[in-house]
Amino acid sequence: MANPSSSVPATPVLKDELDIVIPTIRNLDFLEQWRPFFQPYHLIIIQDGDPTKTINVPEGFDYELYNRNDINRILGPKASCISFKDSACRCFGYMVSKKKYIYTIDDDCFVAKDPSGKEINALQQHIKNLLSPSSPYFFNTLYDPYREGTDFVRGYPFSLRGGAPTAVSHGLWLNIPDYDAPTQLVKPLERNTRYVDAVLTIPKGTLFPMCGMNLAFNRELIGPAMYFGLMGDGQPIGRYDDMWAGWCTKVICDHLGLGVKTGLPYIWHSKASNPFVNLRKEYKGIFWQEELIPFFQSVSLPKDCTSVQQCYIEISKQVKAKLGKVDDYFNKLADAMVTWIEAWDELNPSSSATVHNGAAK
C-alpha cells in the first residue's frame, strides 16, 4: 500500500473536474497502491472482453463501470467504432465522461519513486502540466519554462512567452519501457532506469508516438481527437490505438494552437507483454506506419476547420482518400472516425457547437 506522503495534496486539485479512465479485463487490485492519489477522483472503468465477468473494484472508490453490453446499449449501431478485446475500448470512457480533464492509466502501472525515493503522485504532475502553458513555437533549451526553478532562456522571444494552452500531458514509464515487439525480442531484459527530470513541449510540426499507458488531456480542448481506432477482435491490427490517436491529436493541436507536453510524471510499468503476441498484433502496423507517418506529416487542415470535430472529420476524409489504397482497413477506420464524432456529439451535445478560439494555422 502506498504511504501517504507529502505529495498527496490536502485539497486535491480538480477533484470534481477530472475523471480517471481505466480499461481492464481483470481485477483492479492495482488501485490499492494508487489509493492515496486516486481515491478523491471519480473513476470510469471500461470492462473489455467477457461482459459476464465481474470486475473487482477495491472498496472506497467512486466509479462507474461499462462493459460491452453497456457500450452496445448506449451507442446502438455506433458501438461499431469502439474496439472489442483491446484496450482501445478505453476511449468510450472519454466519450461518456462529463468532466473537463481525463487521466487514463493501464492496470499494470504502479506508483514509481523519484531518485530521492519519494513516491510520485503522477496525477498531480499531469494536472500541473495541463494547467500551465505549453511552448510549441520555439524550443526552450531548459525544457518547460513554467516549472519551478527554471525559466525561458536568453534568446527566447518575449512575445512567445505566454505559450499555448496545454491539451495533452504524456507521461513516461520506469521499468518496462514501451518498446515495440521487435525491440522487445532483441532486448528482453532492458529496463528503463533513467529518471529524466523534465517536462517539455513537443514542438509544433513534430509528430511523436503517443503512449496511452499514462496519459492525461483536457477533454474540452481536444477530447474528440482521442479516438483510439479499430483494434483487437476482427481487426487486422493491434497496439496502434494510442499511436493513431496521438498522430491525429498532434496534427489537430498544431492546427488549433494547442500544446502537447511529454516527460514527467513517471509511473512504474510492471508487466512486459508477450513479445510474440505483440509481434502478431503489430506486424501490419510496422509496415503501415511507413505510410502513415508521411501522411500525417503532410496533412493540411483548412482554415475553416476551427473545432476539433471539424478537424477530425477532415482528417477522416483524407484518410479515406490517401490511405484507403494502402489497405481497405483504412476505409473502415475513416468511417469509424466519422461514427466516433457522431457518437461524441450525441453524448456531448453542448460541445458539438464548440469552436476553439485559438487561431487556426
Partner 1 sequence: MSRATIKDNEVDIVIGALRSDLTSFLNGWRSVFSQFHLIIVKDPDLKEELKIPDGFNLTVYTKTDIDQIVGSTALSFSGYSCRYFGFLVSKRKYIISIDDDCFPAKDNKGIFVDAMAQHIENLTTPATPFFFNTLYDPYREGADFVRGYPFSLRNGVDCALSCGLWLNLADLDAPTQALKPGLRNNHYVDAVLTVPRTTLMPVSGINIAFDREALGPALFPALKLAGEGKVRWETMEDIWCGMCVKVVCDHLGLGVKSGIPYVWRKDRGNAVESLKKEWEGVKLMEEIVPFFQSLSLSRTAATAEECVVEMATTVKQHLGTAHPVFGRAADSMVEWVRVWKAVGSKSS
Binding site for partner 1 (CB under 8 A): 115, 138-143, 149-160, 170, 172, 177-180, 183, 187, 190-198, 202-211, 239-240, 242-243, 246, 262, 282, 286, 289-290, 293
Residue 3: how many CB atoms within 10 A of its CB?
Answer: 9
Helix 308-318 with 241-256: angle, nearest 10 deg: 120
Minimum distance from CB of 309 to partner 1 (Å)?
Answer: 25
| Complex with partner 1: residue 15 or 187, whichever CB lies closer | 187
Whose Cβ is closer to partner 1: residue 61's or residue 247's? 247
Least Cα distance to 164 among 198, 190, 196, 130 occurs for 130
CB 163 within 8 A of CB 131: no
Q: How far is the CB of 234 from partner 1 (least distance, A)?
A: 22
Name the pairing type of β-strands 109-110 and 259-269: antiparallel
Cβ of residue 22: shortest distance to partner 1, in angstroms?
20
Q: Running DSSP on this structure, what letter comes out for residue 79?
A: G
- 152/340 with CB nearer partner 1: 152
Q: Whole-angstrom Cα distance, residue 166 to residue 73?
A: 34
C-alpha 265/C-alpha 174 separation (Å) is 10
Q: How far apart are the C-alpha atoms of 6 and 90, rounded to whole Å?
A: 31
- Shortest reach from residue 286's CB to partner 1, in Å: 6
Closest separation in Å from C-beta 123 to partner 1: 19
For residues 65 and 83, give the distance between their C-alpha atoms in angstroms, rounded to a whole number.
16
Q: Phi/psi at 160 (nearest 5 deg)?
A: -100, 5
Of the two residues 78 and 261, which places its CB atom closer to partner 1 in the complex?
Answer: 261
Question: Shortest approach of partner 1 to residue 32 CB, angstroms?
Answer: 28
Nearer to partner 1, 74 or 360 (CB): 360
Environment class of 302 (CB within 10 Å of its CB; exposed 0-12, middle 13-18, buried 19+): exposed
Reading the block at residue 332, the C-alpha cell is 473502415
8 Å CB contact between 259 and 166: yes
Please identify, using beta-carbon distances, which residue of 5 and 141 lies nearer to partner 1. Answer: 141
In angstroms, the CA 264 to CA 126 distance is 8
Choice between 16 and 190, CB closer to partner 1? 190
Q: Which amino acid is at 332?
A: K
Please state the closest distance from residue 185 (CB atom) to partner 1, in A: 12
